[in-house]
Structures are given as structure tokens and as C-alpha cells.
Amino acid sequence: MPRRNARLIGLLSLPLILTLPTLVAPASAAPARQQPRTGPAAAPTPAPNIVYVLADDFGWTDVSTGRTNAGHPSDYYETPALDRIAREGVAFDNGYTSVNCTPTRAALLTGLYAPRPQNNIYLVGDLNRGGDDTLLKGPAQGRADGATALPNDARTIGERLQDVGYHTGYFGKFHVSRSGADIVTQHGFDENFGGTNAGDPGAYHAVDGHFHTKIGPALDAYAGDYTQEYVDRNIKPYSQGVGSAALDALVGTDKHVTDALADATLDFVDRNKSDRFFAFVGSYAVHTPVGEKQARADLLAKYRAKARGHSTSNPSYGALIEGLDQNVARLVDHLRTTSDPRNPGHVLADNTVLLFSGDNGGVEQFTDNGPLRGQKGELREGGIRVPQIAWSTNPQLVRGNRVDHTPVYVADHTATIAALAGVPAADRGQLDGADLSGRLNGSAPLDRDALYWHLPGYLIEGGRDQRPQSVIRSGKWKLVYSYEDRSWQLYDLANDIGEAHDLAAEQPAVVTDLGTKLIRWLDEVDAPLATLRAGKAPLTFTVTGSTYADDKVVQRRNETVVVRPGEEVPVVLQVPAAAR
């Protein structure tokens, strides 16, 4: 089979987690537009609306609920909206992503593993962020022209939903396209407010009614200064612990991009509520730049005055987190108070699934991922585990008040959204992600044995030390293969969530079983491997067991293997000495 062949028969599906932010303002503070609520629909209409909120660099412990993080909430950052939807919806405490922005977004948009040619994105930038002296060299990623972007022929969830009659809107950070125009012309969204190829907002506040040039110009329609009416309607009902004078002081100041994204999304919902809609909100928060100039003034003052917590407590970061949370509250409240033209007698929330997830683990400079080890950019749990929530007021879509311990991964989001939207099964069958709709409403278990990650390159900077590795998570076990020294590390996450105790030597049978599955998966997805860097001495070792390289698995018995510069450095799974 030729290298990089697109075998899209879904093998071992990456998990996807749908998260829905659900917060409703207290009844005493409800906005003037609120209408009488009706009960949940007896049965959903055939095609529910879908709102997806993807927070940026939002760590596992950045929420003030313990439901999404196995009882390890922040004691400084406040997220009342996310806390509430985690109670009312389904909270996943084993929700996984990729190591940083672009691979997560690519997997989420395509529903495909990173090694697939329609994805082929593993890191922001390139796979050699470790200097020229590393032992190995990562392969090229992204498009044939070198851009870390989806190819034009990649089939996205936006395109799949367009095909079954959805109006699709994108809001905020995209980061896996050549340009903002491609989001509409190539990647399946009818409208794009703010999305470009940039990975950060440049600045969070507008200046003279315009956002930074990294943000697409369509969002400038919502960039006007705060007015008294805006503050009274959209900020005061969702503010906690801030006096009225501090909120009124926002009047006449520059609009924050997080608020503008919510404005644009709510406008999109209102314009399309008579038809099925899909709104993808790619929040810029809480990605850098993080600092006092980036925070909304009322929230910055709140966190400056607040007593520090036991873990990392950054006022500017806290202001970005709570600003995002307030706008999740606005979205949920709008769904709960807006009549649904397609479902007479009910509100939009009765036939809408709202999803929330981070795109990767938190950055240790601003947050504490503990008890997890590692941070954004690393395959340790702190780099790939995030809060994930699914919410709806319709229990046939999401049966709430549950914590689900099932390990799930972002590519599952695509499969789940496609299933909820009624995308034909034949089309959904080409996705790597698993359909989680049965987990959302509690009707069915998830029949999947393992999750997989593959990173054939380096990210050694900013306190991170990520080298070429492949990973499998199955049940309580996490097995990690390191290509530089051909070693295996095994962790029991049920009893060692911090990955402190390597059990590979004590559990050789587990290593052999999971290692065999990992090799089989790498072969199935045609995973490219790092090569021995030019100028390095050849690697020579003897193998009794199996190897994977150059798109093939080879069984070997006491065979000497020599890897020369420019050749792929293989996965090596030795048969335990006692079994030879």
C-alpha cells in the first residue's frame, strides 16, 4: 500500500467529547427579552440545532466545578455558567484533545486522526521545534505547499452539515486555513466572523471600532464601544461579585472580543432559528496575550481584589476565564428564552445541543494542571486532558446531572454531531471518531477499546520537553512509546493520575498487549515516523518481536536492525525474554 494512502475505514476511533455550556441567569436578573419557559419537548425534531464552544488553552482545572476534573476545581478562577451546565448536563472527566491548537481543530473539523492525509497536522508551526541537534527529524506536516492548514479537499463537519440542510456559522479562532476566506469557500461554513489563519487575537480589545488585524474583519460589525444599554442587558445579568459602578464604568470603553463573539453568535441564531443551524464558536480566550491590557476592566479589578488560591492565581487570566464563562451564560440563556419556530410551544434549548471543550491542556505559566503532569504541548495528561460538557434541556438529547468517566477524544465530536444532525450513516462511516450520542442521553455504552495519539516530532521550548512519541489509552492503562530510546512507559491512571510510577517492567503482558494494538493502529492509519537526522551515527539494535516503520509491520526473530540517517526510526516491541 502506498505511503499516506487515505484508508478511511474507521479503525480505532478517537474519542470525541461534546460539551455544552449551560448557564441561565438568576430569574431576578433575567434580561428583558425573557419569555415564559415551556417544558422540554416530548420528542426532538429530526434535526436539532448545534452550538459548539471551543475554549483556547483552557486547562483541566480552570473551572470552579469538580465534575469535569475528578474533584480538582480551581479555588481562584470562577466559572458559574460552566459549573451549572456541568450539573444540568453531562460532564466528562476523561475528555481528551491533542497537544495544542491546530491538531485539535483539524481532528475536530475533519473527524480524522492526525496521521490521515486529509488531516496531517500534529503541532502548531512544524514538527521540529527542538533545534537542529535533536536525534530525529520530524516529517513535513500540513499541505503539500508547506502550510499548516487543512487541504482544500478535506471534508469538514461544516460541509457534512451543509449537505443535510444546516446553515453553518463560524465565530472566532480557526487557525487551520490558509486564509479567512477559505473558511467559507473551502471548509463548509456559510458565514465567518473573525476566523483567519492566526493562532491568537493579537489583542483582546477593539480600537476605534476595529479588532486586531489577526481577527477577520467581519467581526468588526460588533466592535463598537460599550453602551449603557449593552452593559445593562448583556453584562450586568451575568456578573457576580462586581458592583454596579464598576460595570457602568465600561460604558464608552473598547469592546472585548469575547463579548463580540457572543454578540455575533446570538445574531446568527436569531437570523437562522427558523431553520436548523450549526454555530461553531472558537473562543480566543484564554490564549496569550494574557495581561492587564487584555482583561475587561471590571473582571480584572475583581480578581485583583480577590484572595489568592492555593494554586496558580493570575488576575488577568481569571478575567479572561470569567469573561468567557459569562458569554457561555448568555448563549445558554438565549437558547432557553427564545421561542423555537420549528418546535411550536417550546424554546430553542428544547431542541439544541450545546457543546463545550478546551482545545488542549493549560499553560503552566497561568494555571495549575495538578494533579496532572505536563502542560499544553505535551502528551502527558496535563497537555491533553480538558473539561468537556454536553448540555440540552431535552433529556432525549442529553440526559443531565451525570458525570461520565468514559475516555473520549475530540474526533468523536465530529461523529456525534454528524449523528445528531442526521448525516447518512454511509458518510459518517468514514470518520475515525465514535458517535457519543448514546452516552449523551444515557441510552448506550461506548463500544471502543482504546484511544490513540501520535506525535512524530519535537516541541522543546517554553518549559516543555515533548519528543517523538506514540500513546495508547485503554481502560485504566496509558502506554507511551518514545522513539529516541525505543522505550515503553506504562501508567495506571486509575491510581496514578500524575504519571509518576512507570509500571512497564512490572507489567510486561500489558505492555505487549497494548503495544501490539498501538503498532496495529499506526499501520492502519499509515502513520509517518520521524527519521534519523543527517550527520547522526546509524542506530543498530537487535529485535525479537515486531517493528513498525515505512508503513509496514515486520515480525523479527533475533534480527539486527540498522537505521541510517534519513530513514524512519521504528517502533520496536520486543517479546519479553521470559516468553522467547
Q: What positions carry a catalytic annotation?
A: 101, 175
Taking alpha carbons only, the member of 258, 259, 257, 281 closest to residue 269 is 281
Cβ 56 vs Cβ 282: under 8 Å:
yes
Q: How many CB atoms lie within 10 A of CB 421?
A: 23
Angle (CA) 192-125-137 rounded to 5° is 150
Distance CA 68, CA 84 (A): 12
Angle (CA) 100-97-123 rounded to 5° is 30
Cβ 467 vs Cβ 460: under 8 Å:
yes
Q: How many CB atoms lie within 10 A of CB 251?
A: 14
Cβ 546 vs Cβ 574: under 8 Å:
no
Cβ 75 vs Cβ 16: under 8 Å:
no
Strands annotated E in 83-217 = 90-92, 95-96, 128-129, 136-137, 167-172, 191-193
Taking alpha carbons only, the member of 76, 28, 493, 118 closest to residue 303 is 76
**List of residues 6+ apart from 275 with CB closer than 8 A:** 165, 166, 167, 342
Show the cell assigned to 375: 502542560
What is each CA distance from 573 to 64, 350, 474, 481, 564, in whole angstroms? 42, 51, 18, 9, 20
What is each CA distance from 36 to 27, 33, 294, in whole angstroms? 11, 10, 37
Phi, psi for residue 482 in degrees, rounded to 5 = -110, 120
N- to C-terminal Cα separation, the chain: 31
Burial class (CB in 10 A: 0-12, 13-18, 19+), 531: buried
Distance CA 514, CA 519 (A): 9
Strands annotated E in 104-258 = 128-129, 136-137, 167-172, 191-193
Taking alpha carbons only, the member of 62, 109, 98, 91 closest to residue 406 is 91
Residue with cell 442529553: 398
Q: How many CB atoms lie within 10 A of CB 245?
A: 8
Upstream peptide bond of 286 is cis (omega within 30 degrees of 0): yes
HEC profile of 217-228: HHHHHHCCCCCH
HEC profile of 416-456: HHHHHHCCCHHHHCCCCCCCCHHHHCCCCCCCCCCEEEEEC
Which H or E run contains 304? helix 297-305
Distance CA 277, CA 162 (A): 9
